[in-house]
Structure 1
Amino acid sequence: MPYPTSTRIATLAAACGTLMSAGAAHAVDWTGYMRGGPAATTVSGESRQCYGLNSPGLKYRLGNECDFYGEFQLAQAMKADGVDFNAVLMTNFYSPQSETNHDYGIEQAYVEMKGVDIAPGALFWMGKRRDRDDVHIVDTFFTNMSGVGAGVENIDAGFGKFGFAGYKTDANGGANGIARLHAQLYDIKANPDGKLRFVATFSKADSQGGVKGKDGFGLTAEHVQDKFFGGGNHIWVQYAQGSTNINQGFGNATADTNTKTWRVVESPSWQIGAFGGQAIALYQHDEASGGVKWNSYTLGGRGSLGITKNLKFLTEIGFSGRKPNNGSQENLTKVTIGPALSTGPDFWKRPELRLYVTYADFNKAA
């Protein structure tokens, strides 16, 4: 949806339950995630708004939840003849409004297997599966190698582990299908409590109805640091071109090699006593056919201060910008403050019930 082009103030109350889990007999596990709640803004006729710029990672989520979303997963682990199986089914629910236009879907449906005699330590899987990493405060998955496919991972490479997977989308509604292959080398020890991961992606789009599909290629290097001020630190350096997305997922099937993107992202998180939080710094450069180019960036963070065992105070501040070579500089400053009730005082404790006020300031070009 188009974003507003003037200063906005919004007061919202949201009920958010994340990482809910329960165990039952027969090894059936249930987990879930949900966000939603009532909202009001100072804009006449608008009950809720999203405040962000049109580029990945430029929308800070706290006090910026203009939709309803939930996902609910059932998983059952089994064992037969010395082989471990796990069957997973996840459904999801989405509504861009509070009470209408509901969409339902199957987010995941796959089976994984471990302990086969040809590769006892490897994990084989097949079906619709997610493989992604995000920065929570901007609700963006900087790697998102999800979809319908099959693969193997956890292959011991001596200095790390190796994985390989293939995915395919079908032609739909005139859109070309795309085949995508991934090779990963991960769990490479880089420093005390720090590990590296490298991902190479290759994509090939089908031709359909006289529209020729294009090839694509992508690379990601990641460093993940544990035990960092009670939290961790995550760095991505990424490149993609053609029909491969910068997040290493499916891109535009007809995008040629003139379509290129590179970006650098760093996101630390911490928990020092009662004070926890997460921050992000991002810079991204995009190029498209016809000489169109743009740069985007953001710097911001969310802090959480535990007041009592079940009461926190949250603050989130983000500064974002986007500059196309054929247009004006777009800027957005977004600030959210408010209390939250939770099961514990730490930043990551969920579920949370939040009451917040958001201030968003766009410049004229945005």
Structure 2
Amino acid sequence: MRTKHRRLPVAVMLLAGLGVQAHAQAQQTDEPPQAEAKDPTKEFVKKINEATGLEFWGYGRGGFYSAGKGRLEGGYSLGGDLQKYRLGNEGDNYLEFGIGKKFDLGNGIHWGVFYMPTIYNGKSGTAQAYFSLGGIFGNTATLWAGQRYRRIQDVHIVDKWVVEDGDNFGAGIDDIPLGGLGRLNVALHTADSVDNKNGNPNNAKRINLQWRDIPTNPDGKLTVTGGLVSGDFAKGRDGGALGLMHIQKNFLVPGLNNTVILQASSGHASLSGKFYNLDSSSTTTGLLLPPGFGVDNMLLFAPLVERTVVTPQAGARQRRILDSVDFQIGRFGGQGLIGYQTTRADNGPEVKDFSLGGRVSYGIARYTKLLAEVATTRRSTDNQPRQTLNKGTIAVAFSPDTNFWTRPEFRIYATRAGWNKAAGDANAASFGANGRRSATTFGVQMEAWWE
């Protein structure tokens, strides 16, 4: 196993060397990578949509992952929302493929149907399945009903949508114009979904409001989000969520963008705008024996009955503050994050999560870039020792250009993760098994998104 692990870093170095050599040759005949402003994948998908009359969008990742015997191929994290730095740390295969069609009814009115199936490590599901109707009000507002989510803001390097709602059956209206003061989304949701038809034993409901893109200053916009959750919970209580997000383009220097997010939630409402930790139920069918009857009479007198068992789940009081930057300046691109989150479960201890890390890319040839990602994370729980986990990854990547955000991206990477004893003890069933304090993984992965 050690011999195999040594070969992969050598391969990474050789590919990097080939990229440098190619860069020296390309400079004589090709434009530099930063001069290519267009995203070739988006341009291609746009042409396909125009040619077919359909709408395609989606995301996928997969590849070859290698780790030592008994070690995880990815997923090294203390468990916080902002703590799984994903480059060389996923170790899975995932695909979501959206397809939709809009039909023009004339007079500016159109309706659409949209569907997005998913496959995660061989298990299929449904992320979205909904209808829309636009043009009724003579503006950009669009009615919709079905199962839909609105993903507003993510932090890509930790694979977390920090502002979103949906994933459940519901209905709403999007993009209500507010006369130069942004736009408004309003939605109502239940806790059921296509994949979880009995996921609502508490009769939970949720309303979401999203006041988006409020102009605040040159190149700056504010988004305000709110949510209310109610239900007949076996444990916990109704809840609410409130969030503020400010995005500043060209922050300090051209090409640098900064996002600040403040969020708070309570009860069974999540910070991002979805349900949090709802009660779950399981239903079984069995024989109900009438009193006084023995086994000999069971088949004759005992009826079949359905039993539903509700497992109570606690709500929580949560707070989050984060600052994220992303940039593309010449051949350099990247994203960085600093975040702090607290979670106090109902009648439980408080968990405090800290995260600091970033990923950078540098174009060394027209289609080749080097990637590096480093991060440190901490988790502190009342009356327990502090957990720490550090992670670093280096990679060579190939893509249609060297912009940080350009996909598809084909990567060859090596990852090293290390943690203290407290983190190992808390995760003894996974990466901390047998007292391990570190791990090294290698892999070849391809990631793509299209819209």
TM-score range, shorter chain: 0.7 to 0.9
Q: Deviations over 1:197-221 (max 9, x none)?
A: 11110001235xxx36731111011
| Counterpart in the other structure of 1:236 | 261
3-state SS of paired residue (2:249): strand
| Counterpart in the other structure of 2:131 | 111
How much has 1:24 moved relative to structure 2?
5.5
Look at both structures and tell me which one has the larger radius of gyration over its CA atoms.
2
Query: 1-side partners of 2:278 and 2:201: how far apart?
Result: 8
Of 83, 101, 113, which aligns to 1:87?
Answer: 113
Query: 1-side partners of 2:182 and 2:392: how far apart?
Result: 42
What is the 5 A alignment of 1:1-366?
21=45, 22-23=48-49, 25-41=51-67, 43-46=68-71, 48-82=73-107, 83-95=109-121, 102-116=122-136, 118=137, 120-132=139-151, 133-147=153-167, 148-158=169-179, 159-170=181-192, 172=198, 175-207=201-233, 211=234, 214-228=237-251, 229-253=254-278, 259-366=316-423
Gaps of 5+ in 2: 1-5, 12-40, 280-311, 424-451
- Higher helix residue share: 2
Aligned residue identity for 1:221: L
Assess if the C-alpha contact under 8 Å between 1:242 and 1:256 holds in 2: no
3-state SS of paired residue (1:23): helix
Q: Deviations over 1:328-364 (max 9, x none)?
A: 1010110000101111011011101100010101111
Assess if the C-alpha contact under 8 Å between 2:338 and 2:356 holds in 1: yes
- Higher strand residue share: 1
3-state SS of paired residue (2:271): coil
3-state SS of paired residue (2:266): strand
3-state SS of paired residue (1:268): strand
Change (3 A) 1:164 1:119: farther
Assess if the C-alpha contact under 8 Å between 1:216 and 1:240 holds in 2: yes
Change (3 A) 1:252 1:205: farther
Aligned residue identity for 1:263: R
Assess if the C-alpha contact under 8 Å between 2:319 and 2:341 holds in 1: yes
Query: 2-side partners of 1:257 and 1:40: how far apart?
Result: 37
How large is the RMSD of aligned CA atoms in angstroms?
A: 2.6
Aligned residue pairs total 344
Query: 2-side partners of 1:173 and 1:248: how far apart?
Result: 18
Assess if the C-alpha contact under 8 Å between 1:176 and 1:213 holds in 2: no
Query: 1-side partners of 2:95 and 2:140: how far apart?
Result: 34
Identity %: 35
Runs of 4+ in 1 over 6 A off after TM superposition: 255-258
Assess if the C-alpha contact under 8 Å between 1:241 and 1:256 holds in 2: no
Query: 1-side partners of 2:72 and 2:375: how far apart?
Result: 23
TM-score, normalization by structure 1: 0.87
Query: 1-side partners of 2:52 and 2:88: how far apart?
Result: 40
Assess if the C-alpha contact under 8 Å between 1:137 and 1:302 holds in 2: yes
TM-score, normalization by structure 2: 0.71
